[in-house]
Amino acid sequence: MISDSNIVETFDLTKIYKLKGKKGKIKALDNINISIKEGEIFGLLGPNGAGKTTMIQILTTAIQPTSGYAIIDGFNILKKPLKAKSRIALMLGREMIYYRITGYDNLKFFCKIYKIPNYKEKIYNMAEQFGLENWLDQYVEKYSSGMKMKLALCRTLLLNRKLLLLDEPSLGLDVKLKKYLIEKLKNVDSTIILTSHDMSFVEKLCDRIGFINEGKIIKIGTKEDITKAMQSKIQFEISINHKINELKKDLCNQNYIKEIYESSHGLMVTIESRKYFKNLLSVLGNYDVLTLKEQELTLEDLFINLI
């Protein structure tokens, strides 16, 4: 359940890297101001190099910002980094597990580092939840990619932290495993911040979404919020029996049509705003239309428009 209190707040968070041997600089983060409520699943979307991983590194206190700061569960990451870090569990894909030891030894190692009590019972309970109980005594190098992801998530959840930071958790996973991961994360009793360039994964999982590009937050909101803000793009798929060229020509003469092209099922038509839907229907009334289907706006569509 999402509470009214913020567990993460950033204040003008900025990170600048100086290029070696050159006078140039790269601004990886540019005055980032976001707030995330306790219990929320927040997705940070952006292309490679947008600043997503830099944000995660700063929040985990792995690197310091050039300027600005963040508050994690009431603790300033610059003034009380250990307190802030103690609230966080980090998952970097499958990178934080060791392939040359068993799954059990991986989890035991991290439990001992973080002083998890009664870790043996907790390891087996967690492994059972993820269907890994029969693989705990096997070397991780024998695991499939999906099993390695599950083991990495087990390691993260065993820490029982209030805030989970997941950097590209769906990278390299097939559709079935992505669905599995979404179901598991939705039932986690923690706040989650995840970075990704996987639009559909974030769309299905997150309560709110932040779009980042070139170190700047472009927009933050729910998918519905962002869709409302982007109502200038509404697309329909139209299939007709005949006269497709005549319909295409007729629609091209309408000033509210933003885009039109042929597809395997007929025509794809984009109108300027939903208020022109009646105008579109008026034109279609002159033709033998078989189906008219509105295409749901994806986060990829939104992101392309936002940048």
Residue 23: its pLDDT value, please?
73
93, 148 contact by CB (below 8 A): no
Q: What's the predicted TM-score (pTM) here?
A: 0.79
138, 100 contact by CB (below 8 A): no
CA distance 67 to 15: 7
- Domains belonging to the chain, first-starting first, are 6-227 (3.40.50.300), 230-306 (3.30.70.920)
What's the average model confidence in pLDDT over 29-58?
Answer: 93
pLDDT in tens, 102-125: 999 999 999 999 999 999 999 999
Confidence of residue 307 (pLDDT cuts 50, 70, 90): low
What's the average model confidence in pLDDT over 152-172?
Answer: 91
CA distance 195 to 197: 7
The H-assigned helical ranges of the chain are: 52-59, 81-85, 103-113, 119-129, 145-158, 175-186, 199-205, 223-229, 244-252, 277-284, 299-306
CA distance 302 to 82: 38
pLDDT in tens, 122-133: 999 999 988 999
What's the average model confidence in pLDDT over 73-94?
Answer: 93
149, 181 contact by CB (below 8 A): yes
